[in-house]
């Protein structure tokens, strides 16, 4: 049983200044009840990333998503607008769409064939008034469309707020948007995808991404050209945190490079930033590409990382001339993210130690991680 009294005490210890604070308690990594609490207070009440616009690329695209047992459906309508609905028929609650694809015309429920248009409107209710009678006074189509879910998007990442109670999306995303105003208004073009399964709680993936402290030991390759001392902390309390480097200097190929975003300020020539946007997306941004990692928190000790890499032009993203360079870039990032797996899984195992007290933070090196813990504690407290 999750002891809510003890949890409150533990969370207040987390919300101390970084030098005095403890980390989040073991239960938040190991207990199904804690996961259920996070499902309500973090994943339902706040903004959370459920996918990418490229997952529903054309008019009529449908993409079902399961978020901790909450079935959602991304739909691209005829005008190109991406919408999100609960993926459930308003008749008897059948799951509407089981697999991604393109559905021209209407979305038909496989049970009794009620049909919905891509904007969610109920369009057909065959035999609802008896054989051959397709309407009935009891069913008002105007009140029986698909249930819309608030959504918004940034750099092709799609976010939802299921409860409908979070602040407006534009207000929520504004701090990161203004930090990265240099990239505003530029299209990003999808190039590569891969996914990794990790045997750890989703928060450990966030925590590890927040800090550069582990670079010398976990990423010796990366550290050989972008050293610990080349990094700085990024902290926006209760919103996001991470790290940046002043030495972004990829050496994938002596003769080829990706085109940069046009007209970026000079600091991006050699700079790059890596941010955990709470709760579940890890972003890397560079002058010539960006990536988003959506963390799917499938269980308290299991997370799927969906990695999507984007480039600055359609040609860079899909053209033949840079295909090998794209493969090298994806392989380089994959190697880095795989290097992190043994530590996040090792920290998960460590949470089984009954007397582990959440651990301590280096006041100098771990403050972006503490920034995230403070956010979690505030959301759950």
Which residues of the chain form contacts with ligand FES (CB under 6 A)?
A: 89, 91-92, 94, 109, 111-114
Q: How far is the CB of 125 from ligand FES (least distance, A)?
A: 8
Which position has the token pair 């209407």? 106
Q: Which residues contact 232 (CB under 8 A, 6 or more apart)?
A: 243, 244, 245, 246
Give the residue at shortest CB distance from Fe ion: 340
The most distant pair of C-alpha atoms in the chain lies apart, rounded to whole Å, by 75
58 or 142, CB closer to ligand FES?
142
- 109 interface partner picked from ligand FES, Fe ion, none, CB below 5 to 8 A per type: ligand FES
**Where does residue 359 rank: exposed (0-12), middle (13-18), buried (19+ CB within 10 A)?**
middle
User: Rounded to 10 degrees, what is the CA torsion of 55, 58, 64, 70?
Assistant: 80
Q: Which is nearer to ligand FES, 98 or 170 (CB)?
A: 98
Residue with tokens 């946007």: 277
Q: Answer yes or no: are the C-beta atoms of 341 and 365 closer than 8 Å.
A: no
Closest to Fe ion by CB, 184 vs 229, is 229
- CA triplet 316, 322, 327: central angle to 5 degrees? 105
* The entry of Fe ion, ligand FES, none that residue 366 binds, CB within 5 to 8 Å by partner kind: none
> What's the min distance (Å) between Cβ of 76 and ligand FES?
22
State in angstroms the smallest separation of the CB of 109 from ligand FES. Answer: 3
Instruction: Kindly list the residues in this chain that would bind Fe ion in the complex (CB under 5 A).
Output: 340
The partner in contact with residue 92, picked from Fe ion, ligand FES, none with C-beta cut-offs of 5 to 8 angstroms by kind, is ligand FES
Task: State the binding partner of 177 from ligand FES, Fe ion, none, CB within 5 to 8 A by kind.
Answer: none
Pick between residue 141 and residue 319 the one whose CB is nearest to ligand FES.
141
Which of Fe ion, ligand FES, none sits in contact with 94, Cβ below 5 to 8 A by type?
A: ligand FES
Please list the alpha-helical segments (H only) found in the chain.
4-14, 27-30, 32-38, 169-179, 202-210, 215-218, 220-223, 267-270, 314-318, 323-339, 341-350, 367-380
CB nearer to ligand FES: give 11 or 109.
109
Alpha carbon distance 317, 190 (integer Å) = 6
Q: Of these partners, ligand FES, Fe ion, none, which one is at the site of residue 340 (CB under 5 to 8 Å by kind)?
A: Fe ion
Q: Closer CB to ligand FES, residue 13 or residue 115? A: 115
């Amino acid at each position: 049983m999750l002891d809510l009294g003890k949890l409150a005490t533990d969370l207040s210890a987390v919300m101390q200044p970084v030098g005095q604070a403890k980390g989040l308690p073991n239960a938040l990594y190991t207990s199904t009840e804690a996961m259920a609490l996070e499902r309500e207070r973090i994943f339902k009440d706040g903004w959370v990333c459920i996918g990418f616009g490229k997952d529903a690329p054309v008019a009529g695209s449908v993409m079902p998503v399961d978020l901790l047992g909450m079935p959602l459906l991304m739909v691209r309508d005829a005008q190109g607008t991406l919408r999100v609905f609960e993926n459930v028929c308003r008749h008897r609650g059948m799951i509407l769409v089981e697999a991604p694809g393109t559905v021209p015309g209407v979305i038909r429920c496989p049970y009794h064939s009620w049909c919905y248009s891509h904007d969610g409107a109920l369009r057909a209710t065959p035999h609802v008034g008896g054989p051959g009678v397709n309407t009935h006074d009891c069913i008002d189509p105007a009140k029986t469309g698909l249930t819309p879910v608030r959504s918004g998007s940034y750099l092709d990442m799609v976010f939802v707020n299921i409860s409908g109670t979070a602040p407006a999306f534009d207000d929520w995303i504004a701090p990161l948007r203004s930090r990265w105003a240099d990239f505003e208004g530029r299209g990003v073009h999808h190039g590569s995808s891969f996914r990794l399964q990790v045997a750890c709680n989703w928060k450990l993936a966030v925590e590890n991404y927040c800090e550069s402290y582990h670079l010398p030991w976990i990423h010796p390759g990366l550290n050989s050209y972008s050293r610990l001392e080349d990094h700085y902390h990024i902290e926006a309390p209760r919103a996001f945190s991470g790290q940046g480097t002043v030495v972004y200097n990829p050496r994938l190929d002596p003769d080829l490079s990706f085109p940069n975003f046009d007209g970026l300020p000079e600091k991006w020539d050699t700079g790059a930033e890596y941010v955990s946007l709470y709760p579940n997306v890890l972003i890397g941004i560079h002058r010539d590409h960006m990536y988003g990692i959506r963390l799917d928190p499938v269980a308290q000790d299991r997370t799927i990382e969906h990695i999507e890499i984007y480039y600055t032009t359609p040609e860079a993203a899909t053209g033949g001339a840079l295909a090998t360079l794209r493969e090298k870039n994806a392989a380089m990032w994959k190697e880095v993210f795989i290097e992190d797996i043994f530590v996040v899984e090792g920290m998960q195992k460590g949470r089984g130690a009954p007397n582990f007290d959440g651990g301590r933070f280096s006041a100098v090196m771990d403050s972006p991680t503490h920034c995230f813990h403070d956010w979690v504690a505030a959301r759950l407290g």
